[in-house]
Amino acid sequence: MTIIIDTSVALKWVLPEDKSEDALTLKGSELAASSIWLAESANAIWRHVAAGRVVAEDGIRALRRLRDAGVALIPIDVDVADALELGLRLRHPIYDCLYLAAAIRERSYVVTADLRFVAAVRRHNDLSQYIRLLGEG
C-alpha cells in the first residue's frame, strides 16, 4: 500500500525537528504526495533561512534531497475537486485536503505531523481512518 505523506513529515528528513526519527522510518515505504509538496517544502525551508535557523546553501541542498527522495507525485488535478469538498466540510485549508483526498482515493492514509490537520479530520468518524499522526502506532 502506498502511504501518503505531507510536507510536515518530509521536512523532518532534512531539517532537525521533533520526531525526525519517526519520519525517517517511513523512508523505506512506498510513499506518495500531492505534487504541491515540493513547493510547500521550499516555502518552509525559505522560512527557516529567513529566520536564520538554516544557511541558504543548506536549504538548497535540503530541497534537492527532498526532490530526490523517491516520493511519487500525485497530480493536483486528480484530487482538487474532492479536496475542495473536504476543505469545506472540515473547514480546513485545501492544501492539506489534497493529501487527504489522495489517501481516500487510494484507500490509504496520510501521515502528518500537523496536529490541527489530524484534529480536523478526526472530528469526522467516517474520515478518521485516512489520517495518522506521525509517531502514532
> Helices 37-50 and 56-67 meet at what angle, rounded to 10?
160
Domain residue limits at 13: 3-133
Work out how many domains the chain is built from and give that number: 1
Say whether pLDDT at 13 is over 80: yes
Q: Which tens digits make up the pLDDT trace of 63-90?
A: 999 999 999 999 999 999 999 999 999 9
CATH number at residue 27: 3.40.50.1010
The pLDDT value recorded for residue 16 is 83
Q: How do residues 89-112 score in pLDDT, each as one tens digit? A: 999 999 999 999 999 999 999 999
The predicted model gives 13-28 an average pLDDT of 92
Please report, for residues 11, 20, 22, 115, the alpha-carbon distance to residue 135 in angstroms, rounded to integers and kept in the order given: 15, 10, 6, 12
